[in-house]
Structure 1
Amino acid sequence: MASSSAGSTAFFVLAELTICLLVLLLLRYYLPLRTTPAYVLVPVFLAITLPASIVLLVPIDLASSAGTDTEGSRGIWLSDKVVYKSWRVTYWLTFALTWVILPYLGEYCDSGYREPKDRLMYSLRSNGQYQLMMLASGIVGMIYFILQNGFVFDTFKGLVMALAYAWGLVLAIYLMGHGLVALPRSLWKYASIGGRLKRLQGHVPKVHDKLTEALDKLSQYEHQVIQLRQRKNGTARDFQEWIEELSEMSSLPENRVGAVGRTTMTTIPPVITERYLADLTRKLKRARHAKMRFSDEWDRLVRKAVETQAILDSKGSKRLEFKNSPFQTQSNGPLSRITLLTPYTRYHLHVHVLPTMYYLASVVTALASAAIVWSECVNPLIDMDGPKLNLIGLTVVHPTSSSRGAIGFGRQIIAAAWLCYMCICAFFSLTEVKIWGNRALVKRGTYQESATWYGLQVAKLTVPLAYNFVTFTPPTIHKQTSFYNFLGKLIVLTPLGHGFSDYFPIFILVPVLASIFGLYGRVKKLCGFGDLLEDDEDDENAAYGTGSWREGRALIDREVNSANGTSLGLSSRGNLVSPPNERYRDDPVRPNAESSTRRQRVPDNNYEVSGNFFTDFADRVKNTFDTADFSFSRPKWMGGGDVGAGAEVWDGSAALVLHGVGV
Structure 2
Amino acid sequence: METASPASSTAFFTLSLLAISLLVLVLLRYYLPLRTTPAYVLVPVFLAIALPASIVLLVPIDLASSAGTDTSVSRGIWLSDKVVYKSWRVTYWLTFALTWIILPYLGEYCDSGYREPKDRLLYSLRSNGRYQMLMLGSGVLGGVYIFLTNGWNFDSLKGLVMALAYAWGLVLAIYLMGHGLVAFPRSLYRYASISGRLKRLQSQAPKIKDKLTEAMDKLEQYEDMVQQLKQRKNGTVRAFQEWIDELVEMSSLPESRASVTPRTSRATVPPVVTERYLADTTRKLKRARHAKMRFSDEWDRLVVKAVRTQAILDSKASQRLEFKNSPFETPRSGFLSSVTLLTPYTRYHVHVHLIPALYYLFSFTCALASAAVVWSECVKSFDEPKLSLIGLTVIHHPSSSRGQIGFAGQAIAAAWLCYMCICAFFSLTEVKIWGNRALVKRGTYQESATWYGLQVAKLTVPLAYNFVTFIPPTIYKVTSFHKFLGILIDLTKISQGFSKYFPAFVLVPVAASAFGLYGRIRNICGFGDLLEDEEENGDGDILGTGSWREGRALIDREIHATANGNALGLSQRRGGGVGGQNEREGGRERYTDHPASSREGEASATRRQRPERRRAEEEEEEEGGFFSDFADRVRNTFDGVEFSRPKWMGGDEPSSARSGGAGGGDRGDGWRGLFGGRPDEGRVRL
CA contact (8 A) 2:159 2:489 kept: yes
Aligned to 2:26: 25
CA contact (8 A) 1:23 1:48 kept: yes
Aligned to 1:235: 236
Aligned to 1:471: 469
Compared CA separation, residues 166 and 327, structure 1 to 2 (3 A): closer
CA contact (8 A) 2:308 2:323 kept: yes
CA contact (8 A) 2:227 2:262 kept: no
1:241-640 matches, within 5 Å, as 241-256=242-257, 261-262=262-263, 264-323=265-324, 331-382=332-383, 386-537=384-535, 543=541, 548-563=547-562, 567-575=567-575, 576-578=579-581, 579=606, 581-582=608-609
Compared CA separation, residues 341 and 114, structure 1 to 2 (3 A): same
CA contact (8 A) 2:180 2:424 kept: yes
In the TM superposition, what is the alpha-carbon distance from 1:226 to its structure 2 partner?
A: 1.4
CA distance in 1, matches of 2:417, 2:183: 18
Compared CA separation, residues 396 and 540, structure 1 to 2 (3 A): farther
Gaps of 5+ in 2: 582-605, 614-686
Aligned to 1:199: 200
SS at match of 1:72: coil
Compared CA separation, residues 532 and 539, structure 1 to 2 (3 A): farther
CA distance in 2, matches of 1:547, 1:153: 57
1:642-661 matches, within 5 Å, as none
CA contact (8 A) 2:107 2:446 kept: yes
Instruction: Among all aligned residue pairs of Structure 1 and Structure 2, give the percentage whose two residues are the same amino acid.
Output: 75
CA contact (8 A) 1:27 1:45 kept: yes
Q: Deviations over 1:563-597 (max 9, x none)?
A: 566542424312345447335699xxxxxxxxxxx
Q: Deviations over 1:304-351 (max 9, x none)?
A: 000000001001011001127786697455322101000010000100
Q: Deviations over 1:461-492 (max 9, x none)?
A: 00000000001111111000000000000000
| Amino acid of the structure 1 residue aligned with 2:510 | V
SS at match of 2:444: coil
Compared CA separation, residues 287 and 489, structure 1 to 2 (3 A): same
CA distance in 1, matches of 2:328, 2:224: 33
CA contact (8 A) 1:551 1:585 kept: no
CA distance in 1, matches of 2:537, 2:133: 39
In the TM superposition, what is the alpha-carbon distance from 1:531 to its structure 2 partner?
A: 2.2
In terms of mean alpha carbon deviation, does 105-114 or 241-250 score higher?
A: 241-250
CA distance in 2, matches of 1:354, 1:483: 40
Q: Deviations over 1:139-191 (max 9, x none)?
A: 00000001111111100000000000000000000000000000000000000
Compared CA separation, residues 132 and 345, structure 1 to 2 (3 A): same
Compared CA separation, residues 2 and 434, structure 1 to 2 (3 A): closer
| Amino acid of the structure 2 residue aligned with 1:214 | A
CA contact (8 A) 2:3 2:76 kept: no
CA distance in 1, matches of 2:235, 2:612: 50
Compared CA separation, residues 259 and 542, structure 1 to 2 (3 A): farther
| Amino acid of the structure 2 residue aligned with 1:548 | S
> Is the counterpart of residue 156 in structure 1 residue 183 in structure 2?
no
CA distance in 2, matches of 1:233, 1:400: 84
In the TM superposition, what is the alpha-carbon distance from 1:258 to its structure 2 partner?
A: 9.1
> Is the counterpart of residue 185 in structure 1 residue 212 in structure 2?
no
In the TM superposition, what is the alpha-carbon distance from 1:410 to its structure 2 partner?
A: 1.2
Aligned to 2:636: none
1:26-41 matches, within 5 Å, as 26-41=27-42
| Amino acid of the structure 2 residue aligned with 1:235 | T
| Amino acid of the structure 2 residue aligned with 1:300 | R
In the TM superposition, what is the alpha-carbon distance from 1:70 to its structure 2 partner?
A: 2.6
CA distance in 1, matches of 2:283, 2:86: 42
CA distance in 1, matches of 2:128, 2:308: 45
In the TM superposition, what is the alpha-carbon distance from 1:301 to its structure 2 partner?
A: 0.4
| Amino acid of the structure 1 residue aligned with 2:223 | E
In terms of mean alpha carbon deviation, does 263-272 or 95-104 score higher?
A: 263-272
CA contact (8 A) 1:107 1:122 kept: yes
Compared CA separation, residues 326 and 303, structure 1 to 2 (3 A): same
CA distance in 2, matches of 1:267, 1:281: 15
In terms of mean alpha carbon deviation, does 65-74 or 52-61 score higher?
A: 65-74
| Amino acid of the structure 1 residue aligned with 2:429 | T
CA contact (8 A) 2:68 2:405 kept: no
In the TM superposition, what is the alpha-carbon distance from 1:259 to its structure 2 partner?
A: 9.2
1:45-124 matches, within 5 Å, as 45-124=46-125
In terms of mean alpha carbon deviation, does 245-254 or 140-149 score higher?
A: 245-254
CA contact (8 A) 1:521 1:538 kept: no
CA contact (8 A) 1:222 1:284 kept: yes
In the TM superposition, what is the alpha-carbon distance from 1:73 to its structure 2 partner?
A: 2.6
In terms of mean alpha carbon deviation, does 546-555 or 113-122 score higher?
A: 546-555
In the TM superposition, what is the alpha-carbon distance from 1:254 to its structure 2 partner?
A: 4.2
Compared CA separation, residues 328 and 435, structure 1 to 2 (3 A): closer
Aligned to 1:651: none
Would you say how many aligned residue pairs link Structure 1 and Structure 2? 583
Q: Deviations over 1:437-470 (max 9, x none)?
A: 0100000000000000000000000000000000
Q: Deviations over 1:614-661 (max 9, x none)?
A: xxxxxxxxxxxxxxxxxxxxxxxxxxxxxxxxxxxxxxxxxxxxxxxx
SS at match of 2:179: helix
Aligned to 1:5: 6
CA distance in 1, matches of 2:482, 2:327: 59
CA distance in 2, matches of 1:179, 1:469: 16
CA distance in 1, matches of 2:108, 2:61: 37
In the TM superposition, what is the alpha-carbon distance from 1:219 to its structure 2 partner?
A: 1.0
Q: What is the TM-score normalised by the length of structure 1? A: 0.85
| Amino acid of the structure 1 residue aligned with 2:196 | G
| Amino acid of the structure 1 residue aligned with 2:574 | G
Aligned to 2:588: none
CA contact (8 A) 1:201 1:305 kept: yes
Compared CA separation, residues 444 and 541, structure 1 to 2 (3 A): farther
Aligned to 1:214: 215
Q: Deviations over 1:77-122 (max 9, x none)?
A: 0000000000000000000000000000000000000000000000
Compared CA separation, residues 549 and 582, structure 1 to 2 (3 A): same
CA distance in 1, matches of 2:264, 2:72: 74
In the TM superposition, what is the alpha-carbon distance from 1:543 to its structure 2 partner?
A: 1.8
Compared CA separation, residues 240 and 259, structure 1 to 2 (3 A): closer
Compared CA separation, residues 397 and 307, structure 1 to 2 (3 A): same
| Amino acid of the structure 2 residue aligned with 1:390 | S
| Amino acid of the structure 1 residue aligned with 2:38 | P
In the TM superposition, what is the alpha-carbon distance from 1:503 to its structure 2 partner?
A: 0.5
In the TM superposition, what is the alpha-carbon distance from 1:263 to its structure 2 partner?
A: 6.3
Compared CA separation, residues 45 and 246, structure 1 to 2 (3 A): same
